């Protein structure tokens, strides 16, 4: 397919790509040493999945060749099968297209080499040769365009693009995968990635895998704000978990994906699909939702409601407490530790704290987290109550056992400072109660502060 034609197709419409291949094959034929090998051993299973996605309304199907490169095939003794597995992958997709009653585009799927997972790290020239070999095999058998997907490192993605562009004039969709923090493993933000990719003759820049629909939207929003690019997005069904020897994805509802499609279209996203754990039902819901939608022409000034779920940056706000200011000024500060009450009443605590603070000699109240495995009120709750009732800015301790709950978005009633004991530290700022992971050591904490923090 010519780049001009591809661009034309995306000008005013949203194309729906298919969903997961790997997890569907896993369901169909069980665990495999190599899913790409199924192009020769179980072509019927691969064909049926393509067909199911076409029936669900996909305009694009991806070849089952995500890992069909020499580097990833070698550990299975399949290094010499690159040409055959890619060729068969395209052949199966073409057969599925022929059985469809409407036009379907075939995208040659190319995944990363899995650097970092494997111990050997080839030189850039070798990486380029590996991608060149796979891309050539896909193009010779007749893909319409390429999808480079799930890349964690932009450097590797750039090499793959260069390998393709050394011989090919087919369109390229280039997708990185981002963590919840909005960066790739190499710490690149979407805006920065788009800036690096936009002059490399790629037609669409996107994000796929790792994140579910809700977490992917802010990434797509950031991409969509970059001038002069078209954006694609393919979320996972959610976070996977292990059950025995199986990786299981949550059964997130197709309606949820329809909602995602509407939100993404409002951002101007042009290609929508699914990644790990998604099924034809998810694709059908997105295809139905997209029928009545056109991609937004302009970059939306106001982010959508879902995109707002990204925590607001809090890096620039200083805590308001006198205690913090004293430490900043390197003045001596006095802190009194109290234990949370065993029951539900806070009256006695209020009374004590009131007395202590009235002495004017104490700068802060430090609430213990109760390391004695005793039932009692949570330190965060006590801190929130003290702040609300007495306008204090107490320090609430968190034991490491509570830190994971906090990282998941524990919404505290409003304590201003939280210290986590041991080596990890979390900071909660009132009023947003958004928890920010700080450095993995106490290094980021001012030294005077750390004396109070480390129990
Ligand atoms: Zn995935």
Per-residue pLDDT of the chain (455 residues; tens, 9 = 90+): 999 999 999 998 999 999 999 989 988 998 889 999 999 999 999 999 999 999 999 999 999 999 999 999 999 999 999 999 999 999 999 999 999 989 999 999 999 998 765 667 899 999 999 999 999 999 999 999 999 999 999 999 999 999 999 999 999 999 999 998 899 988 899 999 999 999 999 999 999 999 999 999 999 999 999 999 999 999 999 776 666 666 677 667 899 999 999 999 999 999 999 999 999 999 999 999 999 888 887 554 444 444 444 444 444 556 667 788 888 888 888 888 888 887 778 888 888 888 888 888 888 888 887 656 566 777 888 888 887 777 777 887 776 555 444 444 444 444 444 554 432 333 333 322 223 333 333 333 333 333 333 32
CA distance 34 to 37: 6
Residues 282, 243 within the same domain: yes
Instruction: Give domain status of residue 392, yes or no.
Output: yes
Instruction: Give domain status of residue 201, yes or no.
Output: yes
| Boundary-marking domain end, from 277, 308, 339 | 308
Residues 127, 229 within the same domain: yes
CA of 399 to the centre of ligand 1 (A): 34
Residues 174, 25 within the same domain: yes
Residues 105, 28 within the same domain: yes
CA of 211 to the centre of ligand 1 (A): 8
Residues 136, 251 within the same domain: yes
CA of 350 to the centre of ligand 1 (A): 52
CA of 282 to the centre of ligand 1 (A): 14
DSSP-assigned beta bridge partners for residue 367: 338, 396
Residues 283, 329 within the same domain: no
Instruction: Give domain status of residue 315, yes or no.
Output: no
DSSP-assigned beta bridge partners for residue 172: 146
Q: How many domains does the chain have?
A: 2
CA distance 269 to 205: 10
Q: What is the b/e burial string over 20-46, where b = at least 16 CB atoms within 10 angstroms of the residue's CB?
A: bbbbbbbeeeeeeebbbbbbbebbebb
Structural domain of 85: 3-308
Looking up residue 207, the CATH number of its domain turns out to be: 3.20.20.330
Instruction: Give domain status of residue 107, yes or no.
Output: yes
Instruction: Give domain status of residue 303, yes or no.
Output: yes
Q: Which residue has 């981002």 as its token pair?
A: 178
CA of 274 to the centre of ligand 1 (A): 8
Closest CA to 259 of 212, 302, 225: 212
CA of 123 to the centre of ligand 1 (A): 26
The total number of residues shown for the chain amounts to 455
Residues 335, 407 within the same domain: yes
Residues 292, 200 within the same domain: yes
With the C-alpha atoms ordered 78, 84, 87, 89, is the resulting torsion angle positive or negative?
negative
CA of 55 to the centre of ligand 1 (A): 21
CA of 161 to the centre of ligand 1 (A): 20
Q: CB of 335 within 8 A of CB of 393?
A: no
Closest CA to 418 of 405, 433, 408, 432: 433
Residues 72, 171 within the same domain: yes
Residues 51, 10 within the same domain: yes
0.85 surpassed by pTM: no
Structure tokens given for 206: 């996107």
Q: CB of 178 within 8 A of CB of 184?
A: yes
Instruction: Give domain status of residue 317, yes or no.
Output: no
Residues 273, 336 within the same domain: no
């Amino acid at each position: 397919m010519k780049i001009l034609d591809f661009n034309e197709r995306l000008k005013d419409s949203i194309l729906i790509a298919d969903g997961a291949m790997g997890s569907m094959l896993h369901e169909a034929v069980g665990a495999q040493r190599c899913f790409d090998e199924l192009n020769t051993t179980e072509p019927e299973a691969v064909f049926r999945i393509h067909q199911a996605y076409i029936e669900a309304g996909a305009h694009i199907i991806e070849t089952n060749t995500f890992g069909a490169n020499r580097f990833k095939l070698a550990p299975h003794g399949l290094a010499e099968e690159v040409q055959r597995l890619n060729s068969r992958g395209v052949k199966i997709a073409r057969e599925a297209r022929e059985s469809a009653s409407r036009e379907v585009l075939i995208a040659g799927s190319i995944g990363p080499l899995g650097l970092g997972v494997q111990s050997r790290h080839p030189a850039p020239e070798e990486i380029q040769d590996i991608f060149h070999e796979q891309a050539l095999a896909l193009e010779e058998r007749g893909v319409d365009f390429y999808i480079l997907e799930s890349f964690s490192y932009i450097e590797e993605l750039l090499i793959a693009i260069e390998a393709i562009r050394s011989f090919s004039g087919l369109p390229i969709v280039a997708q990185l995968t981002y963590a919840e923090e909005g960066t790739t493993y190499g710490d690149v933000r979407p805006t920065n990635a788009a800036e690096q990719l936009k002059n490399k003759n790629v037609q669409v820049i996107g994000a796929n895998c790792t994140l579910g629909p809700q977490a992917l939207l802010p990434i797509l929003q950031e991409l969509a704000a970059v001038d002069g690019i078209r954006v694609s997005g393919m979320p996972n069904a959610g976070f996977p978990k292990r059950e025995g020897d199986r990786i299981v994805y949550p059964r997130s509802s197709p309606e949820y994906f329809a909602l995602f499609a509407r939100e993404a279209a409002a951002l101007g996203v042009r290609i929508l699909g699914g990644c790990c754990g998604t099924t034809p039902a998810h694709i059908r819901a997105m295809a139905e939702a997209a029928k009545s939608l056109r991609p937004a022409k302009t970059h939306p000034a106001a982010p959508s409601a879902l995109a707002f779920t990204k925590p607001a940056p809090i890096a620039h706000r200083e805590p308001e407490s006198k205690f913090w200011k004293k430490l900043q000024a390197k003045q001596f500060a006095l802190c009194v530790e109290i234990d949370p009450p065993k029951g539900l009443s806070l009256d006695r605590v209020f009374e004590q704290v009131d007395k202590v603070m009235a002495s004017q000699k104490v700068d802060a109240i430090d609430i213990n987290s109760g390391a004695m495995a005793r039932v009692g009120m949570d330190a965060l709750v006590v801190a929130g109550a003290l702040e609300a009732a007495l306008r204090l800015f107490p320090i609430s301790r968190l034991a490491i056992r509570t830190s994971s709950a906090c990282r998941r978005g524990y919404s505290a009633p409003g304590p201003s400072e939280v210290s986590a004991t041991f080596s990890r530290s979390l900071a909660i700022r009132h009023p947003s109660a958004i928890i920010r992971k700080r450095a993995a050591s106490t290094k980021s904490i001012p030294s005077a502060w750390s004396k109070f923090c480390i129990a």
